[in-house]
Chains A and B, each alone.
Chain A
């Protein structure tokens, strides 16, 4: 079975600082993908970044980067130069395959608060 663990229920960071949100995973599938989603207070789920299990390079998307350490089974999200608008819930998710369709397994999330 696949499992995602996010051990930080909440984090508080000063504006403009970098922040790392932790995510560890467990799977026996050799092929998998890892995603990060942002959920602001308005409730929608916003895709941020993706890392495939065979990707050699760590994924980056603007201020977001994914620190992928396969041996340690971790996929931490790094947000550089945090902004007030980054305050939200952040979910790590793992993609597996379920009878021809993707299945996403989500962690419990980390609530990030950016202080001015």
Chain B
């Protein structure tokens, strides 16, 4: 039982390049999330998926797109990377219901030059 996994662990991009961050969970959770963490700050929600087939914007969605491929997988795409997107990206999942906890993946460190 791996929990939440993310690939890659680290990536360097040039401005304007595109890439997709992958996330998968094996806990049969309904909801999945993408957050970013900037230095000295807490996490901010980029996009989320309440259930398979649905996605919605969070607090900071500009410059990102997501795909909920199936119940297990939720990917985050940067179409044209900008230096402001340099951050650590975390994927999380949870079961909908009162008191359920979000469990996080190990994170992806992204540097945009």
Q: Which residues of A are interface residues toward B (Cβ below 8 A)?
A: 4, 31, 33, 35, 37, 43-45, 47, 50, 52, 91, 93, 98-104, 106-109
Contacts and interface: CB of A to CB of B under 8 A. Distances in A.
Given A50-B101, A108-B41, A102 B56 contact: no
A4 B35 CA distance: 16
A45 B51 CA distance: 23
Interface in B60-79: none
Nearest to A39: B37
A19 to B, nearest CB: 20
Contacts of B98: 31, 33, 52
Nearest to B97: A102
Given A43-B106, A52-B98, A104 B40 contact: no
Given A103-B45, A108-B40, 15 more contacts: A33-B98, A35-B102, A45-B43, A45-B90, A45-B107, A47-B102, A50-B99, A52-B99, A91-B43, A98-B48, A99-B50, A101-B31, A103-B48, A108-B42, A109-B40
Contacts of A101: 31, 33, 48-50, 56, 94, 96
Given A44-B107, A45-B90, A102 B102 contact: yes
Interface string B76-113: 00000000000010101010101111111011010000
Interface in B16-47: 31, 33, 35, 40-45
Interface residues of B, number: 31
A104 B34 CA distance: 11
Contact of A98 (B40, B56, B101, B109): B56
A102 B101 CA distance: 9
15 contacts: A31-B98, A33-B99, A43-B106, A44-B104, A44-B107, A45-B43, A45-B104, A47-B101, A50-B101, A52-B98, A100-B96, A101-B49, A102-B94, A106-B44, A108-B42
Contacts of B51: 100
